[in-house]
Amino acid sequence: MRLLPVALLLAACSGAPEAARVRLATTTSTDNSGLLRWLLPPFEERTGIEVQVVAVGTGQALALGESGDADLLLVHAREREEAFMAAGHGRERRDVMWNDYVLLGPPGDPAQVRGLADAAEAFAKIASSGSLFVSRGDDSGTHIAERALWKRVGGVPGGREWYREAGQGMGPCLMMADEMRAYLLADRGTYLSFRARLDLDVLVEGDLMLRNPYGVILVDPARHRNVKAAPARMLMDYLTSPEGQRRIAEFRVGGEVLFHPVLGGS
């Protein structure tokens, strides 16, 4: 597995044989959590196909698919994924796995949200108390989920002094929230990977609004002749196969499950 910045993605693929590499645009959560470093090497060793990973927000990953600068997408924003397919950018989409979001905050919990069952109620209490909140602010799947929760309690509080838009990936936002003693919506997997470095508690979890499903999408080669459909489909088949699903289920950080496969998962 080779991780590439977006600017180098297209250039790195020029002149390569059809089956030599797949450009996988995915999210910072799958990268920061360590899942891809566990999941992809068996596929690469068996097939000889190099997977070039570009880890960005879901919005950016979908944009790479729309422009033909990725062969396969692994993302988590179901409405956006369905719109991508409806617009004809994708040849096929499949469910892969899910994890969940958690609301993190400082142990002192100034907004008094610890243990609430309703995530939207927790967001309302953060707003009414004016407690610091760090937002991804990057059109990622996590940012989309966060905006949906704010919408339920009156809208995104843009421009408020206590609401800080970072425009960063999950890892940097976790470190920022820790330094600022702020609240943050995070995917559980990346949080568990960073937990030893943080003084943030899981304050709200378990709400169905916090469920976070992931899908894999094959970019339509009929729209973009450079899309390597055959090896991309091989990777798609692997991710949704019993072997790939088993490896997703076996992935642990500190003994804890981070992602749940859709085959035989709950």
Helix (H, G, I), strand (E, B) or coil at 256: strand
Query: What average pLDDT is seen over the chain?
Result: 91
Q: Is the pLDDT of residue 8 over 50?
A: no
Q: What is the pLDDT of residue 189?
A: 85
Integer Rg of the chain from CA: 19
pLDDT in the model for residue 193? 85
pLDDT tens for residues 230-241?
999 999 999 999
CA pair distance 122, 139, nearest whole angstrom: 22
Q: pTM of the prediction?
A: 0.82
Percent of residues, the chain, with pLDDT higher than 90: 82
What span, in angstroms and rounded, lies between the C-alpha atoms of 236 and 217? 8
Distance CA 104, CA 114 (A): 9
Mean pLDDT, residues 216-223: 97
Do the domains at 2-98+214-261 and 100-210 have one common CATH topology? yes
At residue 106, does pLDDT exceed 90? yes
The Cα–Cα gap between 101 and 77 comes to: 13
Distances (CA, A) of 160 to 103, 138, 177: 19, 18, 16
Architecture in CATH of 100-210: 3-Layer(aba) Sandwich (3.40)
More confident residue, 226 or 15: 226
Domain ranges of the chain: 2-98+214-261, 100-210
pLDDT at 9 over 80: no
Residue 257, C-beta contacts closer than 8 angstroms, at least 6 positions apart: 249, 251
CA pair distance 121, 200, nearest whole angstrom: 20
Indicate the class that CATH gives domain 2-98+214-261. alpha beta
Query: Does residue 91 surpass a pLDDT of 80?
Result: yes
Q: How many CB atoms lie within 10 A of CB 196?
A: 8
Task: Give the pLDDT of residue 256.
Answer: 87
